[in-house]
Structure 1
Amino acid sequence: MEKQDIFRFVKRTLLFFLAVFLVDFAVGQVMRYFYFRQDSGSLYRTTYALDSTTAQVLVLGSSRASRHYNPDVMQVAMNRTVYNAGQKGNHIFYHYGILKGVLRRYKPQVVVLDILYDEFKPVQDSYDRLSVFLPYHDTHPELEELINLRSPFEPVKLVSKVYPYNSLILPVLNGNLGFDKVREPEIKGYLPIDAVMTDSVKKRSERIEYGLDSLKLQTFEEIMSTCKKEGINLYVVFSPAYLENIGNNYSVSIARKIASEQGVPFLDFSGTEPFVSDNKLYSDNVHLNAKGADIFSRQVADSIANRLKNQN
C-alpha cells in the first residue's frame, strides 16, 4: 500500500470516528435534556429524591415501600414532612444510593428503610438495575462506586453520552408527556393502588436458606453506619404481606439480627392485625392496596412517633 493510500485510510478512519463522536454527543445531549425535564414517572421520582426533596422523613425501599407508605397519612401522626423514595424493582443498592445523594444536600431527621423479603439473596438483577443511576454519573460522584458494581467496564462505557440513556426513550417520552400522571398518580412518591385481592386463601412462605450476597449485607450495614454517623434516626421496617410465615424469611431474619446488633429498631408488621387476616387490604400477596396502606401508614407512623418521643 502506498503512502498516499495509507494517508487516505487514516483520514477516513479519523473522520468516521469524529462523526460517531459528534452524533453520540448530540444525541446524548438531546436525551439528557429531555430526561431531566420529566415531571412524572419512576425516572422523575429518582431525580426528585436525589436533587429536590427536603422532607424530614425519608422512606426508602422497593415497590412495597412505594405502595405501602402514604406520606399524607404519616405526616399527621409524626408532625413532620414525609417523602416516599421507594422505587419498584430495586434493592438495597438503590436505597443506599438515594441516601448518599440526599445527604449531599441535607440531612433528614428520620429514615424508614422498608426491607424486602429475600433482600440479601444473590440476584444479578440487583446489579443490572443500578443502570438507573447512569444519567447522574457526572453530577453525583457519590454514586460512582455503586454504578461500578454493574461491571468494571462502566467508566469506559460512560465515555459515550448516549450510553446512560440506553432503552430509556419510551420512559422519558412518558415522563415528558405526563402519561404516568394519569396511569400511575403519585402522592409525594407514594403510588396508591385500588385493586382488591380476591383470593382469601393465605399461602405459606417456606423458609429457604441460601448463600448471602456479601455486598448487599455490607451495603445494609453501610446504611446503618451512615445514619448513625449523621445523627439520623433509622428504622428498619418489614411491612405486611398476605403470606404465612413471611416474617421468618431468611433475609428478614438476617436483617432483624444485624439491626439488633447495631442497636437499630426493627419494626416487623408481618404478624399484626388487621393485615394477617384481611385479604381485602391487599392488591396481591405482597402489596397493600390504598386502604391497607392508609391503615399501615398510621400504624408505622404512630410507632415511630412514640419511639421518637421516648428519646426526648
Structure 2
Amino acid sequence: MNAIHSKPFTDAIRARGLTKSFDGTRVLNGIDLTVPTGSLVALLGPNGSGKTTTVRVLTTLLPPDGGTATVAGHDVTREGAAVRAAIGLTSQQATVDELLTGRENLELFAGLCHLGRRQARRRADELLERFDLTAAAGRRAGAYSGGMRRRLDLAASMVAAPPILFLDEPTTGLDPRSRAELWAVIRELLASGTTILLTTQYLEEADQLADRVVVIDAGRVAADDSPAALKRQVGAERLVLRLSRAEDLAPATAALSAIDHAAVAAAGPRGLPPADPGLRPDPVSRELTLAVQDADHLRRALDALHHAGVAVEHVELRTPTLDDVFFELTAVAA
C-alpha cells in the first residue's frame, strides 16, 4: 500500500550490539537479533529482561545508546520514518478508542495512514472480515470482549498492510479460547507472508507459533534457535515426582542431589537445601522435577528416595519443554 515498503531486504529485522540504559541501569547489554523475512521469531525472557525495550528500540519509540539496527532495510536511527511506514505494532495496551465502533476505529486508523474515505471504508471492511469482526462492526469497542478488542487492535496495526509486525505480549490476559483464536489469526498473517516478532510470557505460545526462539536474560541473548533445537540442547528427559508429604521435599532434594551425577550448584527455594541445576523442587505442588540421563540414572534416583524414606504419590516421565529451556537459561527457576 505504500511504496516505501519496497526497499529490498533479506533480513526483515537485524540488530547488532544494541545497548540501552535508564538512569544508569543497563537494560540492553549488547543484543544481537536477526529475523529472516517471512518468519516468526519469539522473544522470551523474565520480567525486566529487556524484551519490550528491544521492541521499542526496533520500532523507533526509543533511541538506542549503542549498536545498530535495521528494519525492512532501514536504519532505525537515521531512517525512522521509513521504518515506521514499514511496520505494524500491537503493544501490551490496546490502542483502539473504546467510544468508537469497530468500523470507526479502523476507518480512523486508515485516515491516519492517508487513505481516502472510500478506500478507508473498503480497507475497514476487508479487515473486519479477515479478523472475524464483521458482525460486531457497528458496536462500540468498549463493549467487545477481551479477545475481540485484541483482534481489533491487531486489525488496526494491519491497516497499511505492513510487511513486518511487532506483537508485544498480544495474548496477555486473554482466556484460553480467545488466545487460541488470536493464535489462528497470527498463523494466517504468517502464512500470508508477514514477518512477525512476538514477545510473550507464554512458553507454549512460542512453542506453537515460532520458527525461532530468542531467550533474553538481563539484557543479553541467552539462546537463539528453533524450539526443537533448544529442547534438544536441554537434553535429558524429565522425571516429575509428586511427594505424599510436603515435609519430604527437603530430604528428597538432598537425596537426589547426592547421587553421583549431580553437581550441587544452585540453592533450592524457601530454605530447601542446595539442588542440582536439573533438579527443581516446588513446595506448593509437592513436586520435584529431575533431569534423568538414562534408565540407570532413573533407577538410582528412585532408589535414593526409597532409602531416604520418601513416599512418592505420582511419577511421570516427560520430554523437555520450552519451560525447561527457560528455567535452565534464566535465573527464574521455581
Fold match, TM over 0.5? Answer: no
| TM-score, normalization by structure 2 | 0.26
| TM-score, normalization by structure 1 | 0.28
Specify which structure has the higher proportion of helix. Answer: 1
The structure with the largest alpha-carbon Rg is 2
Specify which structure has the higher proportion of strand. Answer: 2
